[in-house]
Structure 1
Amino acid sequence: MFDYDAILNSLLNPKLNKQQLGKLVQIQSQQFTSERKNLKENYSNEDLISAYTAFYFPTNAYKLDFLFSQLSEESLSAISETTIIDIGCGPGTYTYAAANLLPNAKEFIGVDESELMLKQAKKLNDEYFKEDRVFFKNRVPQIENSTLIFGNSLNEMGMKAAFKLIKNLKPKFIICIEPGTKEVFKEVLELRRKLLNLEYKVNYPCMGQGRCPLQETDDWCHQSIKVSLDYELESLSQVAKLDRKVMPATIHLYRLSDENKPVVENEARLIRLKRIVKHAYLWEVCTIENKIVSLEVPKKLFKKKMLKQLDAISSGIKLSYTIDKELENSTFRVKEIEVEID
């Protein structure tokens, strides 16, 4: 998605080699998971910020790319008419990703409390992006016609603070891109409930606006983003011993709207790739009625080229289908299916 060599040349410390970057990324990975009390160290050290930018900046950007690939042209056009505000922008991860994906939008603002993160974000713009639509601030501006992007920042600032910010700004769109964990999903579900009470509509991933079928279960819904990485970036991931070719994420999009779109009864969202057997794909989907359904999708329905694409699809895509018959264990075999692959 980006020129990886240009990113490496624009780091706060561009002299770090691959082995050094890999060790620093390992430290950060531990801080994001088991050592979260040390998380603030990421924002006060130029080498750690450089490592974050080298590893997480170019890979996380694919998550926004995936979300936008699932949206209608009307939705993308409507988002382009707003000011895009990236909350907790870090080195400008989703700020620059959005600017790349929305060429017709007029303004993008990255907000972060870390001066060093903003220094890195500005250096990327000065030396690589040279984007005159992008600005960075240390406080959230009061802008009415906005789209808020929470990129791993809901998880850090807390849902209570995020909801207070949303009520204050009343953005037209809210994009949440958070870790694909059970714990985060349950927190996002609570935010979902509150936003629906504020007349927001779920544009993604939910097909319907009703109660989530996983609300009180031990299961969770998340997207699994599959990407191909630049050779040097993949090499860094091997040094860091972290796989970024498959990235789990909890991605939601909300839109402030009172309109009710027509219901398409046979549409669903693919929420889990259960397994592939010799003759079929076994998928779990969430329907327009907000029900979890298991589908057996015969491979004979597709041409060889399409089969290769289906072998590598990400969960979170939209599909429509016609049922052939019900099988055992609440599984339905389909006789017709259309899958939206970008």
Structure 2
Amino acid sequence: MNAQPLTPAEALRSALAGLLDGLPPKQAAQAVERLIANYRGRTPTDAPVLRDRSDVAAYAAYRMPATFEAVRSALDAFAAAAPAGWTPGSHVDIGGGTGAATWAVSATWPQERPVTVLDWAEPALALGRELAESNPLLNNARWQRSRIGAALTVESTALVTISYVLGELTADDRASVVDAAADAAETVVVIEPGTPDGYARVIEARDRLIAAGLHVAAPCPHSAACPIEPGKDWCHFSARVSRSSLHRQVKGGSLAYEDEKFSYVAATRLPVAPAPSRIVRKPQIRKGQVLLDLCLPEEELARTTVTKRHGALYKAARDAEWGDAWE
């Protein structure tokens, strides 16, 4: 009996597990703790924190599964809005490092396509190239060293992803990177941590993409201004991630999973059908009713209550998840 092929998520976890062979668990955990404290948004772009292969291996093993799941969630929402049967003919991953977003694209649209990963950290690119050997859809990907900033040039492409990158850049470089993506791509998907600062960077990118002539496909049901009052709240979502032993060791937890919070925007020149509305908080299930917080096409936020009297709609509300489209 032939074994079932691994899913992209399983293949990625398997490849990542092999990275830590020979690296003492305590050393890997210490490397991750140091990198978490210093890597995201706190280091000048001329002083890389991922210094060598052991640094990159430890950080990739710890962070790639979460990045993969967050990007895949954002891509799934975009795919639901895109024209039926659409797939990206090519993909450029800006600041892609070890390639989590490229794995997510190949999981969402499982066909081989021209893929280019741009990053300035050579150890990360080298490891991404090594990991891609476990994914046949990425065997021909190009891993290209490039400064991510004002001097960035991006070749014409169907899809650009920019995931967990903008927080590492200055304001001017963030603007340049988003503008370069908008000039080059039919569709741009930006993903950042689900924090107030991450959301602010996503909104900043969203505004620039709209100004460049793209329109929002997800998560928003419109391309008007975000109805959230700045400084009062932030829009973010959650993706479930299977925890590795390294995750549990670093965080001191025993659960087999954790939830990755992320903010995102997908903007495009395609004729898309955005969600009629979007669930923007975890649904609250109470006796005989479900409370849904929605972002509406009327450019406002509202709470709706679905009760047993609504029949099939009530069942749908009970099954609904944070981030889902809602009719």
TM-score norm. by structure 2 comes to 0.81
The count of aligned residue pairs is 304
Query: 1:80 matched to which residue of 2?
Result: 88
**Could you tell me which residue of structure 1 aligns to residue 29 of structure 2?**
22
Q: In structure 2, do the counterparts of structure 1 residues 133 and 308 end up closer, same or farther at CA, with 3 Å as the change threshold?
A: farther
Q: 1:63: Cα distance to partner?
A: 1.4
- Identity within the alignment, %: 19
Distance 1:254 1:303, change over 3 A: closer
Q: Distance in 2 between matches of 1:251 and 1:78?
A: 20
Q: Is the 8 A contact 2:190 2:266 kept in 1?
A: yes
Q: What does the per-residue CA deviation read over 1:49-76, in whole Å, with 9 as the maximum and x for residues that have no partner? A: 1111111112211112212322237458
In 2, the alpha carbon distance for the partners of 1:27 and 1:92 equals 21
Report the aligned-residue RMSD: 3.0
Bigger RCO (CA 8 Å, 6+ sep) = 2
Residue 46 (structure 1) shift: 2.2
1:299·1:307 contact (CA, 8 Å) conserved in 2? no
- Counterpart CA distance in 2 for 1:193 and 1:73 is 20
**Following the alignment from structure 2 to structure 1, what is the Cα–Cα distance between the partners of residues 316 and 273?**
29
Q: Please state how far the C-alpha of 1:141 moved relative to its aligned partner.
A: 5.6
One of 226, 240, 245 as aligned partner of 2:258: 245
2:290 and 2:314 in contact (8 A); partners too? no
Counterpart residue type for residue 6 of structure 1: A
Q: Which runs of 5 or more residues in structure 2 are unaligned?
A: 1-8, 147-151
Does structure 1 residue 152 correspond to structure 2 residue 164? yes
What does residue 205 of structure 1 align with?
219
**Counterpart pick for 2:135 among 107, 129, 132:** 129
Q: Distance in 2 between matches of 1:15 and 1:317?
A: 42
Does the Cα contact within 8 Å between 1:179 and 1:250 map onto a contact in 2?
A: yes
2:61 to 54, 62, 83: 54
Q: CA deviation at 1:196?
A: 1.4
Residue 307 of structure 1 deviates from its aligned partner by 7.9
SS at match of 1:296: strand
Secondary structure at 2:239's aligned position in 1?
Answer: strand
Q: Aligned-pair distance for 1:308?
A: 7.5
1:188 counterpart = 2:205: no
Shift of 1:217: 4.6
Distance in 2 (CA, whole Å) between partners of 1:218 and 1:20 is: 41
TM-score, normalised on structure 1?
0.78
Q: Which residue identity is paired with 2:159?
A: T
Query: How far does residue 207 in structure 1 lie from its aligned partner after superposition?
Result: 0.1
Select 2:73's aligned residue among 63, 66, 74: 66
Residues 156, 299 of structure 1: CA spacing in aligned structure 2 closer, same or farther, 3 A cutoff? farther
CA contact (8 A) 1:91 1:121 kept: yes
Residues 84, 146 of structure 1: 8 Å contact kept: yes
Higher mean C-alpha displacement, 70-79 vs 134-143? 70-79
CA shift, 1:150, in A, is: 0.6
Residue aligned with 2:299, SS? coil
The aligned amino acid for 1:255 is T
Distance in 1 separating the partners of 2:292 and 2:145: 44
CA, structure 1 residues 18+280, in 2 after alignment: closer, same or farther (shift >3 Å)? farther
Q: 1:146 to 1:164 in 2, by over 3 A?
A: farther
- Secondary structure, aligned partner of 2:245: helix
Q: 1:309 to 1:47 in 2, by over 3 A?
A: farther
The amino acid of 1:276's aligned partner reads I
3-state secondary structure, aligned to 2:284: strand
Q: Distance in 1 between matches of 2:113 and 2:305?
A: 45
Could you tell me whether the CA contact under 8 Å between 2:202 and 2:264 is conserved in 1? no
Partners of 2:228 and 2:234 within 8 A in 1: yes
- C-alpha change, 1:308 and 1:298, in structure 2 (3 Å) is closer
**How far is the alpha carbon of 1:269 from its aligned partner?**
0.3
Q: Which residue of 1 aligns with 2:295?
A: 286
Corresponding residue SS for 1:36: coil
Is 1:236 aligned to residue 246 of structure 2?
yes
Q: Is the 8 A contact 2:92 2:157 kept in 1?
A: no
Deviations 1:245-275 (A, max 9, x none): 2111011101035x5x6798xx210011263
